[in-house]
Structure 1
Amino acid sequence: MFHLVRIGMPPIRFVYFDLDNTLLDHRYAERAALGDVIDDFPALFTGCDMDAVHDTYHRINKPLWQAYAQGTIDKATVKQQRFRRLLDALGADTEQASVVHTRYLQRYGAHWRYVPGAQQAFAQVAEQYGVGILTNGFSETQQRKMNQFPALRSACASVIICEEVGHLKPHPAVFAHATEQACVEPGEILYVGDSYTSDVKGSARAGWQIAWYTPRESPSKPVANGFSFSDWPDLLRRVL
């Protein structure tokens, strides 16, 4: 097995991948599911533009997730509040929030797909290194994703859903647990992920190397312990 050596860094022996917006196209599935919900509940979304609904949902969902990651609210609150607040912001009937949320989750799962190029890149990396998944997200949802994409699970020596560890990225306990599961030294782990806060900063604190996936824009912050890449062939050129 060939191990990449970069100047000033230990050789890579294990590669963890983030799941959402790295291997799997969460943005696409989320937007498509919201579109389905708008179509399924026309009375609630009368006169609502898809972009406006999507932007409002993001504005509401992001701070709820941040609060959940920080431990100030629980998972049930996120689930209960994100569509209630969305409907309230749109001037719609908030009593329908639970039904809308259930339908959203159903349709969200129907739209899961790989990020273009990610499936092939993951397979090639898995031929050269031990690989694993390290992901935030609700446990039941992330387990469904792993079941829907069995090639990911079968290739992985370690699948870690952070909620099951008791903390979310970038909490140090998550990375410590993942390091133990990889059975290598922290500096020999490369993490491939898209979030600066969860993935880049979390990896740096853990002593891991990082491949920061930035497909939509040039990185605005430095990556002292790794590199950024914007397409999967670029990652493969760097690590294989």
Structure 2
Amino acid sequence: MDQINTFKTIFFDVDDTLYDHLQPLRGALQDVLGLQDDFPYAEAYHRFRYYSDWLSAQEDLSAVPEPDAVERMRSRRFELTMGEFGIALQSGQAQELQSRYLSRQFEITPFHGVYDLIRRLQAEGHTVGLITNGEGQHQRRKLEALDLFSLVHERLIFISGEVGYAKPDRRLFDHVNKQTRTSADNCYYIGDSWRNDVAGAVDAGWNIIWFNHRGASPESDHQPHFMAQNYAEISQILTFKHARS
């Protein structure tokens, strides 16, 4: 019998999935507050991401939100995060932190193994794309910094600010399926965020690989299909077997 390739569609999240999102936050905190190397940056990052998601929900930020609401959220998340670590920000420091954090987001490099995995999957005949939340131009600058436009076709890059829906809204995943003529059960999503990636993909009927490289805890009853802590484990999960006819 001839073997038939089980071709899949694999989409990756961007922030803290393709590169270390903690790097720009650590740099901003050191620049503005003079924090030392022994500060618990990983724990602060986790709380920072939590407040980003929580405040976005409180502000009811859509995929194309009001600029004033976005700025309130961005400043407030720094105030709430640092408050948990006993640091009260002075006037203007939250805005300065956001400015430094923003500028450092384009000084990024991918996690080890990212490019090799994408190239392998493409060489095997699988479809590889990106789904990311954020404003279009801003996210595209990150993708340029990561040189991802040379690897992933433009038609397979979906940015919430350009689509009109943001994770975890299942309509974003449904839109991707419609545009790529794919089915949810044949799609895999790799992402770090429980709320946006795990919950969003599960609710949309996708297969989800939770890239839990920071040792986070589940935040709901959603069940990820797989969990990985590094790209070697992700690569192993995405080693699809051949099916016989």
> For 2:106, what is the secondary structure of its paired residue?
helix
**1:11-54 Cα distance to aligned partner (Å, 9 max, x none):** x5211111111112112222223222335xxxxx8x9x8548x8
Task: Spell out the pairing of 1:44-55 with structure 2 (5 A cutoff).
Answer: 50-51=39-40, 55=44
Q: 1:29 aligns with which of 18, 24, 32?
A: 24
Q: Contact between 1:165 and 1:174, CA under 8 Å: does it hold in 2?
A: yes
Partner of 1:65: 56
Q: What is the deviation of 1:207?
A: 2.0
Gaps of at least 5 residues in structure 2 are: 240-245
Aligned partners of 1:207, 1:93: CA distance in 2, in Å? 45
Q: 1:97 to 1:203 in 2, by over 3 A?
A: closer
SS at match of 1:16: strand
Deviation of residue 125 (structure 1)?
1.9
- Equivalent residue for 2:74? 82
Report the AA paired with residue 109 of structure 1.
Answer: F
1:137-148 maps to which residues of 2 (within 5 A)? 137-148=134-145
> Deviation at 1:206?
1.8
Q: Which residue of 105, 108, 119 corresponds with 1:123? A: 119
- Contact kept? 1:32, 1:108, Cα under 8 Å: no
What is the identity, as a one-letter code, of the residue corresponding to 2:114?
A
CA distance in structure 2 between the aligned counterparts of 1:229 and 1:92, rounded to whole angstroms: 36
Q: Does 1:233 align with 2:232?
A: yes
CA distance in structure 2 between the partners assigned to 1:50 and 1:218 by the alignment: 18
Q: TM-score, normalised by structure 1?
A: 0.75
Summarize deviations over 1:87-127 as a string: whole Å, max 9, x none.
595444324544443233113322x1212322322222232
CA shift, 1:177, in A, is: 1.0
Corresponding residue of 1:216: 214
RMSD value, Cα: 3.5
Q: Flag structure 1 segments of 5+ consecutive residues without an equivalent.
A: 5-11, 40-44
Pick closer, same or farther for the CA change 1:76–1:51 going to 2, 3 Å: farther
Question: Helix, strand or coil for the counterpart of 1:197?
Answer: helix
Code of the residue aligned with 1:149 in structure 2: it is L
Q: Provide the identity percentage.
A: 25
Aligned to 2:133: 136
Which of 153, 168, 171 is the aligned partner of 1:170? 168
> Aligned equivalents of 2:79 and 2:199: distance in 1?
34
Answer 1 or 2: which has greater helix percent: 1
Report if the CA contact (8 A) 1:69-1:168 is conserved. no
Give the Cα–Cα distance (whole angstroms) in 1 for the partners of residues 89 and 212 of structure 2: 36
> Which residue is equivalent to 2:14?
19
